[in-house]
């Protein structure tokens, strides 16, 4: 089990970490710019009790993809949440839900979900402190600072294979039913898309979406969540969501009408202009050193974990 956790949580983040974000404000500002951020939890420095089959205290490297931020107008709460999931070797799903609030409290919860019936089998909660058991980094090579401002530009970029990041700022959109909330934000960068053409009139739009596993508000049932952005040629964007209970497939998403946004305002798509890796010798050397270090860690860990 230890080796599989290394593959799932440590390897994806070893090569790409860059600047450390030392405060909640730094993390929030980086996400709001559309940057890719990774959370690293050192379980031995957190308050956690793992099941008996865990023979070690893992270090978890969790991409904050997708993420959400909620800030209340009265200032009583301001927090960021994020999710990550993968399929375990026995066919079950492992879901990690993480959080960070404005006073430096961080946490992660490991959920094991049955691959047979979608039920929640077990959850493990870890409470951590920012810069002690929880650390946050901007990814070194993922600063998507080029903004897509028109429908035609979006279509050209995605059809050309450009890796696009989505950033939603619901406080800048119409139809936001939340009250007492000054910020309601979210984003992700593993996005699928298709271009839809009306066969009757030839009109088209672009649908982009991302999905992730989570847990219901009461913590009892896993959910399959989908965020969908329908972009129209005039720059209008309708953002909708679903949250299906995996045991019944009922949709418990509270805002079925969604949000009505404007391209590059409340709904932003950003990308990083592609550069050949060999054009920057410093980056190439850093990557090479990281890969050598990674192979050493994997080989050493594999021997220990046998």
Domain C-terminal end among 141, 168, 191: 141
Shared domain for 243 and 287, answered yes or no, is: no
**Average pLDDT of the residues in 22-36:** 94
Condensed to tens digits (0 to 9), the pLDDT of residues 247-277 reads 999 999 888 788 999 999 999 999 987 655 4
Give the pLDDT score at 89. Answer: 83
Query: How does residue 298 score in pLDDT terms, banded at 50, 70 and 90?
Result: very low
Query: How does residue 304 score in pLDDT terms, banded at 50, 70 and 90?
Result: very low
Shared domain for 250 and 295, answered yes or no, is: no
More confidently predicted of 125 and 298: 125
Shared domain for 169 and 115, answered yes or no, is: no
Whether 26 shows a pLDDT value over 90: the answer reads yes
Q: How many domains does the chain have?
A: 3
**Dihedral (Cα; 205, 210, 216, 217), 10-degree rounding:** -80
**Average pLDDT of the residues in 122-140:** 92
Domain C-terminal end among 141, 158, 185: 141
**Average pLDDT of the residues in 20-31:** 96
Domain C-terminal end among 141, 170, 205: 141
Shared domain for 257 and 300, answered yes or no, is: no
Average pLDDT in the chain = 83
Whether 236 shows a pLDDT value over 80: the answer reads yes
Shared domain for 102 and 158, answered yes or no, is: no
**Average pLDDT of the residues in 62-82:** 93
**Average pLDDT of the residues in 28-44:** 92
Shared domain for 239 and 280, answered yes or no, is: no
Give the pLDDT score at 301. Answer: 37
**Average pLDDT of the residues in 1-18:** 47
Shared domain for 100 and 129, answered yes or no, is: yes
Shared domain for 137 and 260, answered yes or no, is: no
Range of the domain at 99: 2-141
Condensed to tens digits (0 to 9), the pLDDT of residues 139-148 reads 866 577 889 9
Shared domain for 65 and 102, answered yes or no, is: yes
Shared domain for 280 and 264, answered yes or no, is: no
**Average pLDDT of the residues in 68-92:** 91
Own/partner pairs, 83-91, CB within 8 angstroms, 24+ separation: 83/212, 83/213, 83/214, 84/212, 85/212, 85/213, 86/8, 87/115, 88/4, 88/112, 89/4, 90/115, 91/115, 91/116
Query: How does residue 176 score in pLDDT terms, banded at 50, 70 and 90?
Result: low
Shared domain for 236 and 126, answered yes or no, is: no
Shared domain for 170 and 227, answered yes or no, is: yes
Q: Work out the percent of the chain whose per-residue pLDDT is above 70.
A: 79
Give the pLDDT score at 295. Answer: 47
Query: How does residue 282 score in pLDDT terms, banded at 50, 70 and 90?
Result: low
């Amino acid at each position: 089990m230890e080796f599989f956790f290394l593959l799932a949580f440590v390897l994806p983040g070893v090569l790409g970490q860059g600047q450390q974000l030392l405060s909640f404000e730094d993390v929030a500002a980086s996400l709001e710019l559309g940057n890719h951020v990774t959370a690293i939890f050192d379980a031995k420095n957190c308050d956690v009790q793992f099941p008996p089959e865990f023979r070690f205290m893992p270090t978890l490297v969790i991409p904050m993809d997708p993420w959400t931020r909620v800030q209340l107008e009265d200032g009583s709460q301001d927090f960021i949440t994020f999710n990550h999931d993968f399929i375990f070797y026995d066919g079950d799903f492992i879901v990690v839900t993480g959080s960070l609030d404005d006073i430096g409290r961080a946490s992660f919860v490991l959920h094991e979900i049955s691959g047979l019936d979608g039920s929640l089998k077990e959850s493990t909660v870890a409470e951590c402190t920012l810069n002690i058991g929880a650390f946050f980094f901007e990814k070194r090579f993922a600063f998507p600072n080029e903004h897509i401002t028109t429908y035609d530009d979006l279509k050209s970029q995605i059809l050309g294979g450009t890796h696009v990041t989505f950033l939603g700022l619901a406080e800048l959109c119409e139809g936001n039913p939340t009250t007492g909330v000054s910020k309601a934000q979210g984003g992700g960068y593993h996005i699928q898309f298709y271009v839809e053409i009306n066969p009757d009139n030839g009109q088209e739009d672009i649908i982009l979406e991302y999905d992730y596993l989570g847990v219901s508000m009461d913590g009892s049932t896993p959910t399959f969540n989908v965020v969908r952005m329908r972009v129209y040629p005039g720059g209008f964007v309708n953002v909708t969501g679903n949250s299906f209970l995996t045991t019944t497939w009922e949709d418990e998403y509270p805002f079925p009408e969604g949000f009505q946004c404007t391209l590059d305002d409340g709904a932003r798509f950003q990308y990083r202009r592609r550069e050949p890796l060999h054009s920057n010798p410093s980056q190439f050397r850093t990557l090479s050193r990281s890969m050598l270090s990674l192979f050493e860690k994997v080989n050493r860990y594999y021997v220990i974990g046998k």
